[in-house]
Structure formats: C-alpha cells, structure tokens
Amino acid sequence: AQSVAQPEDQVNVAEGNPLTVKCTYSVSGNPYLFWYVQYPNRGLQFLLKYITGDNLVKGSYGFEAEFNKSQTSFHLKKPSALVSDSALYFCAVSGATNKLIFGTGTLLAVQP
C-alpha cells in the first residue's frame, strides 16, 4: 500500500531564512510525487511535481523540492521564506495505482 509521512505538524521559520518541509513516501514502483498548498478556507493548490528526470524540481512561488530515491524522500524547500508563505502544505504520492494519497500536512508559520 502507498503512504506518505510528513513528520512535522508545524515548521516555524523567520522571514528571509531558508525553509524545509519534510516528506517521505512508500509506494510500489516508480512514484509520482506532488506538493500542494492550502490557504484558510480554500481548496488545495498545486505547487510542483516529480514524475521522472532531474531530482531537483522547481515550482510556483520560488519553491523547489528534491527527490531522493534511496531515502524515499521529497522535501520541499525555499531559499528565503516570506510571511505570505504561511499556509498548510501537503505532500502526496501516486504509484502503480492511480490513487493520489496525501500526508497529514505541515503548517508553515513564517514570522516577520
């Protein structure tokens, strides 16, 4: 069965500092990996995806993620955090099945 783990319920970072939101996955076969962001009272918005190819994936709003097959990880990163980045972030994976399974989410809080 496929699964996603986001080990941190919340990540706190000061504005201007780099941020990392962690994600590990378990799936049969090659993974399709995604990051989504959710703002209050809204649906999820797509940030970036890894399907194949370069392990460093760039996405919207300056976010990027690094795929590490040996560690089965897909951590979300940004070099310099903004207060407006504060939101709930979800990692998701689909594999041999076509179901997209989500992690439990990580709340990112960026302090001014």
Residues at the contact surface with another protein, assessed by CB under 8 A: 6, 9, 32, 34, 36, 41-46, 49, 51, 90, 94-95, 97-105
Token pair belonging to 92:
């998701």
Burial class (CB in 10 A: 0-12, 13-18, 19+), 50: buried
Q: Is the C-alpha dihedral spanning 36, 7, 20, 2 positive or negative?
A: negative
Q: Which is nearer to another protein, 17 or 42 (CB)?
A: 42
Q: Which is nearer to another protein, 53 or 112 (CB)?
A: 53
Smallest distance from the beta carbon of 103 to another protein, in angstroms? 6
Burial class (CB in 10 A: 0-12, 13-18, 19+), 37: buried
Q: Which is nearer to another protein, 44 or 82 (CB)?
A: 44
Smallest distance from the beta carbon of 63 to another protein, in angstroms? 14
Smallest distance from the beta carbon of 42 to another protein, in angstroms? 6
CA-CA distance, 82 to 106, in Å (whole number)?
16
Smallest distance from the beta carbon of 51 to another protein, in angstroms? 5
- Whether residue 15 contacts residue 112, with contact meaning beta carbons closer than 8 Å, is answered with yes
Q: Which is nearer to another protein, 10 or 80 (CB)?
A: 10
